[in-house]
Amino acid sequence: MITKDSIETAYSFLHQKQRIYVHSTLDWQKDDIEMAIAAYADDMSQELFEAISGGRADFLHDHKQFQEDITKAVEILENML
């Protein structure tokens, strides 16, 4: 069961990091955000991860897809609120 609290927590964290990520010009800062989000995704409820990932195991873990993935995750979580 996905709780409202887990959705709100994930949304707040991902939204904050996404806003910084899209405006950052520092590669090291973007790398740090990617690592933090990947670790967060590894620890989040499996059910919630599946709901936002569309079944992709590398969701929020693939450097080349990261900006698209985090944007999609924030949109999905916002709609779940």
pLDDT digits (tens, 9 = 90+) for 11-38: 999 999 999 999 999 999 999 999 999 9
pLDDT 10s digits, 36-72: 999 999 999 999 999 999 999 999 999 999 999 999 9
* Predicted pLDDT of residue 2: 93
Residue-level pLDDT at 73? 98
pLDDT at 66: 98
CA 77/CA 61 separation, integer angstroms: 18
Q: Which of 58, 57, 54, 45 is nearest to 73 (CA)?
A: 54
**pLDDT at residue number 40:** 97
What is the pLDDT at residue 13?
97
